[in-house]
Amino acid sequence: MAASAPLRAETTVSPLLEVAETWSSNINLAADGEEEASWVTEVAPAVHYQATGSRTDLYLDYRLQSLFYSSDSDRNNTYQQGRLEASRKLVEEWLSIGVTGSISQLQDLTSGQSGYDNISGGKRTDVKRFGAEPVLRHSFGTLVDVESRLRRDWVRYSGDLSNSRNDSFLLRAASGERLRRLRWGASYRSYRSLRSTSYDISTRSALATTGYSATRKLDLVAEVGYEYRDSEGSDAQRFNNGSYWGGGLGWRPSRRFSATLLGGGRYKRASLSLQPTANTYARVNWYDRTVGSNPGTSWTADVAINRRHASYRIGYFEEVTTYQQMELLGNCWDQETNTYSFECSTDDGTFWEFTGEVYVLTDEEFLRKRGWATIALQGRRNSIALSTYREDRTYLLSENDETRYGGTASWRLSLGRRSDLTTQIYARIGEYSDSTLDERLVRLSLVLTRNLSKRLRLQTGLSRAQRDDRDGASDYTENRIFARVRLEY
């Protein structure tokens, strides 16, 4: 019998071109009386490529953004934004390898006139990241599931932040489906960041868990772990490296609800999980631990309610991190979830830039506490999207504090099958130990979109942005008018 033909990969190639003309009343974001107006021509070819097969997946977004200024040709510049994700199954149900990469821009708050995109004022730092990760994953029948990951990432900056090589390792094993009464799990993680112009960071952790079903609704649970962190930042904070343990009870009155309470040496934890429907859930965790990167009381939360025409989401987390570590999670800003992401383009191929937030760029480690919420409402002709966030940072060496909060509110009105009108207000407020870096920025925009054909889109709009700081040295106002044409090939 003839061998069956191999499955071909499904391939999508979507090149596009964006051309825009923008008039700015204050291209340098200068103070009142010192403004300089300019026309800015933007040419941005881009491509979206996706290939999905039985063994190989490849996803590539790339955009080349060229800006030309009528007021000063020395300002002309080209920026790149993109993302790469590729995976290949080497041995079915055993071994695979993944490759990721990205390029984007960060704005530096310390440069003075921080804006909200690449067109006006401010200093930009290019960020390039590349990583590779072999993954070993296998299930030994229904008894044991094992997983091992070895990852190396390189992060490169064009500005003052330190370049880094980041190595991480994960080894994990857990009981399979057959062991339902007595369950167990064990994991080991390590991370090392070698930074070219700053101190290195090394962390290790181990965790073993077990649970025994005493009754249909009640479990006996136990955890034993170890935390270790070596860095100048953690030395300054006198973090405690060492072991911890806890034991307690887990309660499962139904498939949709569970709660866990543990206590022991150097460790307490309470967890709650509720999922009344497939699209609605609440997960809340509280910790009190005297060892690890973030000792003391901390908690995490993720709550989502999704209905046919409305969705709501709230989240909170705490972590000790660096800019280099955050790059490994993504550096494009997802305005729907207020989180970092590698998703540098929307579903229709429109690219984002890093416009959401601006922070002090530093090589210090910092304790990061972030909360956020989003609301999306969809009607027949109207849609409303609201988002808000607050992030508090404590820098471990300098002991400076930084707080940023703000949000976005937008209203989209359909004007027919091919046209819509979007009104948006964006605001951010920042406070820093050095009060000269405090800021308040508000931006209003109105955009009319018209689909001239299936592949051709026209946008026109206007906006006004106003920034105020504490001493008034970096106050500015900028008005814009723009027209943009987007052509898909």
Q: Check residue 2 and give its pLDDT.
A: 41
Mean pLDDT is lowest, of 263-267, 291-295, 299-303, for: 291-295
Q: Check residue 116 and give its pLDDT.
A: 72
Contact predicate 400/434, CB 8 Å: yes
Domains with residue ranges and CATH for the chain? 10-488 (2.40.170)
Contact predicate 123/157, CB 8 Å: no
Count of C-beta atoms within a 10 Å radius of residue 418? 12
**Whole-angstrom distance, CA of residue 425 vs CA of residue 407:** 8
Q: What is the rounded average pLDDT for all residues in the chain? A: 86
Q: What percent of the chain has pLDDT above 70?
A: 88
* DSSP letter (8 states) at residue 214: S
pTM: 0.83
Q: Is the pLDDT of residue 66 over 50?
A: yes
Contact predicate 234/365, CB 8 Å: yes
Angle, CA 142 vertex, CA 138 and CA 145 arms, to 5°: 35
Contact predicate 62/47, CB 8 Å: yes
Q: Check residue 146 and give its pLDDT.
A: 96
Q: Check residue 42 and give its pLDDT.
A: 96
Q: Give the mean pLDDT of 444-463.
A: 95
Q: Check residue 235 and give its pLDDT.
A: 57
Contact predicate 176/140, CB 8 Å: yes
Mean pLDDT is lowest, of 40-49, 137-146, 234-243, for: 234-243
Alpha helices by DSSP H, 188-266: 232-237
